[in-house]
Amino acid sequence: MNRSAARPTRRAQSLPACARPRTTGALLASLACLFGTALAPVAAQAQFDPARVTREPPAVAARFADPDVRYPTPAFLAGRTDFPSHAEVLAFLDDQARASANVHVETLGFSQEGRSIPMAVLAGGGSVDPKRPTVLILGQQHGNEPAGGEAALAIVAELAGPQSKLLERVNVIVIPRANPDGAERFARTTASRIDVNRDHLLLRTPEARAIATATARYRPQVILDLHEFTVAGRWVEKFGVMQQYDALLQTATVGNLDPGTARLAKDTYEAPVRRALVAQGLSTFAYHTTSPDKAVKTVAMGGVQPDTARNIGGLRPAVSLLIEVRGIGIGRAHLLRRVHTHVVAALEVVRTAAAQGPALVAQVRRAEAATAAAACKGRLVIEAGQSASTQSMVFVDAVSGADRKLQVDWRAATPLDVKRTRDRPCGYVVAASQTDTLDRLRQLGVRLQPVAQAARWNVERYAVVGQSGGQRQDARGAIDDGEGPALRRLDVRPQRIPYVVPPGSVYIGLDQPLGALIAAALEPDSQSSFVANGLLSVGSERLLRVRTRPDAAWLGR
């Protein structure tokens, strides 16, 4: 860890007009009494305002002392009372690229409001070597979770400077501010009010598409997603406690994961991260959350749907890990500790990948080959939920600051509660007219093959036997989907039909590394599918399941 890096002398830029507070929200009288301040509910356009954050009682705050480290990133400029502007993030990355030949910064895409989405590529000699493993680090997908974005900048500085030797054995791709519009407003979602971290399959936002572009280009063996979790809020309202863990961790937990990669993520990556954090005096636990509904006292691990960076990363298949630190709602309190927690965890992940070296690349390639070889065989998990149990947990009493042990109703992400399975097809045929679906699959990195010759294939169509509406759900409740089309929850039955597949149709075989990801997108009866979310229709043979491998002569290149 760099303990001696000098702080930059460049002055912080003031927030532009678009980043000044617009709303104050309703006062929560009970929390105002408890904390001596008002806690306003987070609105879609909420801005960071130090007067509106939760102030921890002194007995709670005393438990989270800052570590003896220094980071040269913009949030830690002397006298700083807010968070970096987008311009400061870009300037900091440019400084790192100028100072080190191992750092290259490029614009990955643009946000809905036209802000660039920067990506830092860090590699020994300045060139990504595919023989080395690649780690992808995502920061600040949620704009009101600044510690992940600041930590991503600190990680770039560490790898460009004191930790640069690691780049002789590993490539690191860093997207420090994956939701720049949300970050500028200090709001969770994008400008269209869509949650980026529930958009990694549907790709409705340019922010999620930019991340997909980087992932398809570099095919990382390890994906690390940096977030923050709520400290008070619903925990105080429901249980009279605040969060006491520094870091919550969870690997991919979704149906159809490669079992070898899932074990690697748990045993070789998550376990050492926990040990590294504990060695720094930082506490850890499994990631968990609870609904905003005060009447629901259940505590749940992270979701099990194929929509988050964590779960989509696992289906690629890659080692995929979520790290959340204690931060939402408390403004800049303990910011150095929060950033340091992320940096410790991320550098441990990078060191582990560097130590594995080519063996990690080979292991993930075997998982890709196993995924491709599973085409036409076995069964797919179509729909799964969390399993019910109870869990002993330790929180901090919201008044005294003492430990509070609770036994809670717990929804575990492992083992999965599998609700529906289906025979795995060899692939799918999608009509050429479904350009939106085909474009999104390409952006995910899927191989598409045009049908060149008319022939009778062994196919099934989906017969709809039931339908309902609603919203996508995760462990927190309804997912932020902006003004998108209403969810169509379908009950379907595959039905064999005689059908001549016309030229111009597109075959999407499951005999490729992204086979599990393709199935998540195209099997219609799950809340994350393209069909359920209005991107694709099952009518008029637009989507068909292919039961036997098509003759190679029927397909173009």
- Residues of the chain below pLDDT 50: 1-46
Q: What is the pLDDT of residue 557?
A: 74
Angstrom distance (rounded) from CA 45 to CA 18: 10
Question: Distance (Å, rounded) from C-alpha 141 to C-alpha 175?
Answer: 9
The token pair that represents 109 in the structure block: 């895409």
Q: How many CB atoms lie within 10 A of CB 66?
A: 12
Question: Which domains are present in the chain?
Answer: 17-373 (3.40.630.10), 382-418 (no CATH), 423-554 (no CATH)
User: For the chain, what percent of residues have pLDDT higher than 90?
Assistant: 86
Token pair recorded at residue 278: 């504990």
* Residue 223 CA: distances (Å) to CA of 128, 174, 268, 269: 16, 10, 14, 11
Angle made by CA atoms 366, 554, 456, in degrees to the nearest 5: 110
Q: By three-state DSSP, how is residue 244 classified?
A: coil
- Give the β-pairing of 284-286 and 427-430: unpaired
Spatial distance between the Cα atoms of 118 and 387, rounded to a whole number of angstroms: 39
DSSP state of 194: B
Question: How many of the other CB atoms lie within 10 Å of CB of 280?
Answer: 16
Query: How far is the C-alpha of 143 from the C-alpha of 141, rounded, in Å?
Result: 6
Q: What is the pLDDT of residue 50?
A: 83
Q: Distance (Å, rounded) from C-alpha 305 to C-alpha 6? A: 44
Strand residues in 151-203 grouped as ranges (E): 171-175
413-427: pLDDT as tens digits: 999 999 999 999 999
Please give the sequence-ordered ranges of beta strands (E in DSSP) within 149-244, or none if there are none: 171-175, 222-230, 241-242
The confidence score (pLDDT) of residue 34 equals 36
Tell me what pLDDT residue 7 has. Answer: 29
* CA atoms within a 13 Å half-sphere pointing along the CA-CB vector of 220: 33
**Ranges assigned E (strand) in 424-520:** 427-430, 449-450, 455-468, 473-474, 477-478, 489-501, 506-509
Distance of CA 1 to the CA centre of its chain: 26
Question: Do the beta carbons of residue 107 and residue 213 sit within 8 Å?
Answer: no
SS3 220: coil
Residues 335-393: pLDDT tens digits?
A: 999 999 999 999 999 999 999 999 999 999 999 999 999 999 999 999 999 999 999 99
Contact present, 340 and 334 (Cβ < 8 Å) = no
In tens, the pLDDT along 503-538 reads 999 999 999 999 999 999 999 999 999 999 999 988
In this predicted model, what pLDDT tens digit does every residue of 102-151 receive, in sequence order?
A: 999 999 999 999 999 999 999 999 999 999 999 999 999 999 999 999 99
- For tokens 């678009």, the residue is 18
Tell me, what's the pLDDT at 148?
98
pLDDT, position 45: 31
DSSP SS3 for 41: coil
Q: Are strands 134-139 and 222-230 parallel, antiparallel or unpaired?
A: parallel
pLDDT, residue 28, reads: 28
Q: What is the mean pLDDT of the chain?
A: 91
CA neighbor of 157 nearest in space, from 220, 75, 271: 75
Q: pLDDT value at position 4?
A: 33
Q: What is the distance between the alpha carbons of residues 479 and 5, in angstroms, rounded to a whole number?
A: 41
The stretches of 386-433 forming alpha helices (DSSP H) are: none
Strand 241-242 to strand 299-300: parallel, antiparallel, or no bridges (unpaired)?
Answer: unpaired
The CA angle 126-132-138, to the nearest 5 degrees, is 75
Q: What is the DSSP letter of 398?
A: T
User: How many beta carbons lie within 10 A of that of residue 542, not counting itself?
Assistant: 19
**What pLDDT is recorded for position 47?**
62
